[in-house]
Structure formats: structure tokens, C-alpha cells
Amino acid sequence: MTKKFSSETNLPWWKKGVIYQIYPRSFNDTSGNGIGDLKGISKKISYLSSLGVDAIWLSPVFTSPMKDMGYDVSNYTDIDPLFGNILDFEKLIKKAKENKIKVIIDQVLSHSSDTHPFFKLSKSNKDNSKSDWYVWADPKPDGSPPNNWLSVFGGSAWEWDTSREQYYLHNFLKSQPDFNFHNIDVQKWLLSTVKFWLEKGIDGFRLDTANYYFHDKKLRNNPAIKSRASGKNPYYYQNLKYSINQKDNFAFLKKLRKLTDKYKETTMIGEISNVELQAKYTANNDKLHMAYSFDLLRDEFSPKHIRNTVSKFFKETKDGWPTWSFSNHDVVRHLSRWNKTKKDRQKFAKLTCALLMSLKGTPCIYQGEELGQTQTKIEFDEIKDPPGKKFWPMDFGRDGCRTPMIWDESKKFAGFSSSKPWLPIKKEQIINSVKKQLKNRNSTYHFYKTFISLRKKISFFTEEIYFENNNEVLIFYRGNEKEICCMFNLSQREIAIDNTYGKIIPFLPSQQVGQDSKKLNLSSYGFCFLTKTDFKISNKKS
């Protein structure tokens, strides 16, 4: 008897859907100033609808001096003029929802800009209504900072202020002072800013540095990590035991969850540093709805690493839910990060798409990923990113993954803008234009579109995941009864394995695979989906 794949499931949309991250500065410019804007995003909603994504996540669009490209907020309830205004934002929400696309916004709660009125007042003296809204501390007797905490962006996490004759804490740039979450009034006010955007009709939040909210009240020194780290940034030499990931974080996130749950079908995605914490922050359905870590955003790309990362999450929690991303606005694009030889890039792009869509969890695509976009090489005089300037030439910063979207290779500035873009557009990226890929049915874009559509029709992709202990080929099963076997050759060499996994499923994409009665042959970046049961897709709509 033939069984049917079914798209019917009682899961909330955010467990079934696909999220698309937009970096607004680089998506589409309608004002002609070389910087993308909200109207530009609205004009491309039809493109996103055609791709099949369920939600868009917008990197920060709030009022900001842009010292960290919007992650330094000076007004939490207004839109920066670079991107438009509140009316433009409301129109974007309306158009997105007309196209059945939800809108998630980046919420930066751990710190503000140093130009925020509250910080200006806080630093004016030690006796004002906002004096305890940021983290202030006296120097040691020798005048040095209160402890050894370091900034992610280099140097001490403490900056001296001459007005108060105290240090203030900044986990990132010195122009990004940390809020004092131990002050309940700070929590209440930040919750009110979250409510403001919920009332505007947004569908959720991506919470920037969601494990950085609280600090150790005693300001104890961070210990060194047990096995000494090496690398470009000394920040990672410390065990961040006291500066982040405090127990109070969980209590505040429960308050956030209680607030967002009052609004139908909203979700929160937390940026968390590693997979163990990713699991803890989503456990028990009372904190974050989802979280993503940097474990699959790093350099390692192997069956063992992917198996261990995903398995570890579900070992840590039975009811938590992950978001998986291979690229975002903070890391080298995965086609350049994992495929350094530059060989078979389109095949590699399709492999990583099929893999991302097949993992248990919610996939998040970074703009241009659906085009097979690669990292842009940025020269020193082109750098806009503060860490890029700080750590050059050992680290090129984050600008290379933030360059403009390539819409039309035949137009000046690739159809992104009518004037010179804020970051350069280069030849290697232009060849992957939207216009060219829409015309080519074998393009990376059409592969993403096809797989997103199929993923929605097959409920097994939201059910259990079971890994085989194989370090040569990544093999796992999807479905509560292991209905689908997913097989990926992550290498450039051909691999043959015994054919005991069933027949290749004809309506799911495969690549570079041969099958006979005894062997499966996976060529470079080959993958396939197999089953031992006779299946077909149900035509019922989800």
C-alpha cells in the first residue's frame, strides 16, 4: 500500500517555515543614496513570495548613529531616516502580510548607543533618574578597570568617563554601553519598547546577543579557558563565566516570552553562542521560542561536526527548538568559508541548501544565499566595519558578507541603487544576479525555490532526526519512523557505500549519485534521499 507524505501538522508556523534574513542596508535602494531602505524591501516582496519563504528577519532599522551599522540604537521606537520612516515600516508589514510573509525585527536590548538620551543623562553625574540604568563601576586603587573583562571588538570592556569618574561596561564598541538589567526599571522600559513594535503588527524578534543581558553583580574576573585559546581576538582566551550567561538572563526572557505570547503567532529567536546554551535557552517552552548558535557558522564542515552539533541540541532538550543558519551578516559566507578551493560552487550551493532544509529545526537563509553568493573581497580602504579596521589584516571584518544584493547584472550598480553603494559591488558577485538565475531553470535560485516548496509538503522534515555514526558520509533519517534517509557527501571525492538504504525518492532532488543493487556512488558534493517504503506527496494544502 502506498503511503502519502503529508503537510498536515499541528506545529506553529515558526517550526514549519523558512526564514529569510535581510540586511536592509544592502538589499534594495530606492532613495538613490547608495543604502538600501524599507521601500526597497517592499518592492521586492513579490520576489520573496515567489521564493516561498514564510518570514523575513530585518537587521536593525531603528534610529542610530550607525557606528555598528544599527546595532547601536539611539531611539528604540523610531525608524532611522536612512531606511525611511514609521509609515514606510507599516506599509512594509502590510504588503508582507498580503503576501503571507511574516516580519521579524532585530531587537538590540543588551546595550544602546552612547548617544541615547538615557546614557547622556546617566553619565552626567551620579545622582540622576538614569544614574543606575547602565553598568558603572569605580576603578581599582591604581586607576585600572574594575576587572579583566574584555570587549568582543578588542581591548577592555570598560571605558573611563571623566564626568562620573567611573568606568562603564561595553561588551562591544565603547559607543555601545551596556544596560544594567539588575535595575527593574530598565527591564520594564525595554519590555515597553518590545510591546511598541508588537502593537505595530510585527510577528517576532531576533534578539541580538540574548545571553549578554546580565552581568555578575560582584564583577568577578573571568578565568582563563582551561586549554589556552589562540587566534586573532583575545576575547576568546577567557571563560566568560561572569560577564555573560548569568542565571538572571532566563528570568528576563521568561518575562519577554510572557509578553510576546499575548500576541498571536509571534516568535522570538535568540542569538546564543553555542549549541548547549542554544538548547537551554529554548527548553520548557517558557523562554525563547527558538535560538541559533554559531556552531554551524564556523569553519568546520564535516559529517562528524554537523552530526554532533545537531545531536547535542536534542540531547540537551526534548522540547526546545533550534534555528539553523550556515551564513549571516556576521560571518564569511558559507560558500567561501567551506569551499575554499572554489571548485563546483553551484553543486556545493545546492548540497548546502538540501542539507539546511533537511535538518530538524527552522532554516534561516541569508540574503543572496539562494543565489549561491560568495564572500566579497574587501580592501582596507573599503572597510566600514569597526572590527575589520581593528584586526586587519588578520581579520577582514564583516563587510565581505554585507555587500549589496545583485539584482540585474546589466544595470549600473547591479540594479541595487542608482548611485555608488555604501559597500563595493564586484565581478565575482555580479555573475550570480537574480535576473540571470530567474531565467536559468537549473540555477541555485530555482533549486532553493523547489526545495522550500517540497519541504512544506512533507511533514517528515519537521519530525524526528536520527543520525548514523558515519564520518565519511553524513547520513541521517527524518520522520518518527525513519521514513526518509538523507545522505550527503560533503567532500570533493567520490564515495561508494553499500546500498542498504532503499530506493532514491524521485520527487526529491538528488545530485551526482548513482545506484545499483549493491552500491550507492556519491560523486563530489553528491546527495540523495532514499526510502524503503512507497511514498507519494499528498496534494492537500497545509
Where in the sequence numbering do the catalytic residues fall?
208, 271
DSSP state of 283: G
Q: What b/e string do you get for 441-466 counting C-beta neighbours within 10 Å, with b at 16 or more? A: eebbbbbbbbbbebbbbbbbbbbebe
* Spatial contact of 179 and 186, defined as CB atoms under 8 Å apart: yes
Q: CB under 8 Å to 345, separation ≥6 — which residues?
A: 335, 339, 372, 374
Q: Which three cell numbers stand for residue 383?
A: 572597510
Distance, first Cα to last Cα, the chain? 23
The residue behind cell 551578516 is 329
In what helix (H) or strand (E) does residue 525 lie, and over which residues does it extend? strand 519-531
* Spatial contact of 493 and 470, defined as CB atoms under 8 Å apart: no
**Backbone phi, then psi, for 430, in 5-degree steps?**
-60, -35
Q: CB under 8 Å to 71, separation ≥6 — which residues?
A: 60, 64, 106, 108, 172, 176, 208
* Spatial contact of 509 and 447, defined as CB atoms under 8 Å apart: yes
Task: For residues 388 and 400, give the distance between their C-alpha atoms in angstroms, rounded to a whole number.
Answer: 10
Q: What b/e string do you get for 146-179 counting C-beta neighbours within 10 Å, with b at 16 or more? A: bbbbbbbbbebbbbebeebebbbbbbbbbbbbbb
* Spatial contact of 492 and 519, defined as CB atoms under 8 Å apart: no
DSSP state string for 159-209: EEETTTTEEEE-SS-TTSPBB-TTSHHHHHHHHHHHHHHHHTT--EEEETT
